[in-house]
Amino acid sequence: MPLKVAVQMDPLAAIDIRGDSTFALMLEAQARGHSLFTYHPDTLALDGNTLYASGEEVTVRDEVGNHFAVTGKRRCDLSDFDTVLMRQDPPFDMHYITATHLLERIHPKTLVVNDPAEVRNAPEKLYVLDYLQYMPATLITRDWDELRRFREEHGDIILKPLYGNGGAGVFRITDGDHNFVSLLELFTQSFREPFIAQRYLPDVRTGDKRIILVDGEVAGAINRVPAANETRSNMHVGGRPEPAALTEREQEICDAMGPDLKQRGLVFVGIDVIGGLLTEINVTSPTGIREVKRFGGNDIAAMIWDAIEARLAAR
């Protein structure tokens, strides 16, 4: 049965469709006969008990530079839709958090994917702490003395903002690096939140594996290899994607968290694993599904829509 689909996202005109997971989801929705309406979270308006958004009815095509057409513009009651995909990129700030509160007003009557309350309660670098047994040494604080102790203990560390994304603000501090105090000054001035420090994992040179789970089940994986002059493996800063299979250890990690992801309504999740150690659980707007398919893996967009349609049918 055709569905009415709203997509809360960054401007459609600005995305790079070659690696954009949201666009892949839109292509699959259209192929199934579903209608598409896109809007930016800035247009959300809660008037009494009704949540409105202003945006565009669109059709999409897999053609770089000519990837969508607007067929109409309107202000909509979001409760009139069957499902809303919450797909705008972080930062995970108060603007993002407020959007989850607003979308809770229509969920689950309108199925929001991922569940907005669970997205709010599962920040990438905090939710992962539920699985400490699979993680490298990790410290969350903005206390300089604690950070100094952590660095003295582990020598080579990574320091990054707690609510950052896409590799922004990620620094490697090696033993004896004289920029440590200057970096702490910069972080303290730039962020009100605590910071996250982790023991540096040399295995990142051979890749940071993104594993995608759909409704708690492994759907595919890619390995992201950092450029020669980079610590970060994120693809938009030069990381090279390559096909990947799961190790026994990685399957164990996925098996441990899968039931919880499904129960929380986190339909589309990407986890990051370096050298068999879990570093993040991405639930806001995970990526990687176009790369998996490009390397001959599963059509994860189709798997996600199967999961959404099954949830709707089970009501």
Active site residues: 125, 160, 210, 224, 232, 272, 280, 282
DSSP codes, 127-162 = HGGGGGGGS--EEEE--HHHHHHHHHHHSSEEEEET
Angle at CA of residue 196, ends 193 and 198, nearest 5°: 175
How far apart are the C-alpha atoms of 245 and 234, rounded to whole Å? 19
User: Which distant-in-sequence residues (6+ apart) come within 8 Å of 65 by Cβ?
Assistant: none
**Torsion angle defined by CA atoms of residues 261, 258, 26 and 4, in that order, rounded to the nearest 10 degrees:** -50
Count how many Cα atoms sit within 13 Å of the Cα of residue 143 in the half-sphere of its side chain.
7
Strands 208-214 and 217-225: antiparallel
**Is the separation of the CB atoms in 67 and 88 below 8 Å?**
no
Residue 307 token pair: 């999961």
How far apart are the C-alpha atoms of 110 and 78, rounded to whole Å? 8
230 exposed, middle or buried (CB, 10 Å; 0-12, 13-18, 19+)?
A: middle
Q: Look up tokens 């309108």; give the residue.
A: 110
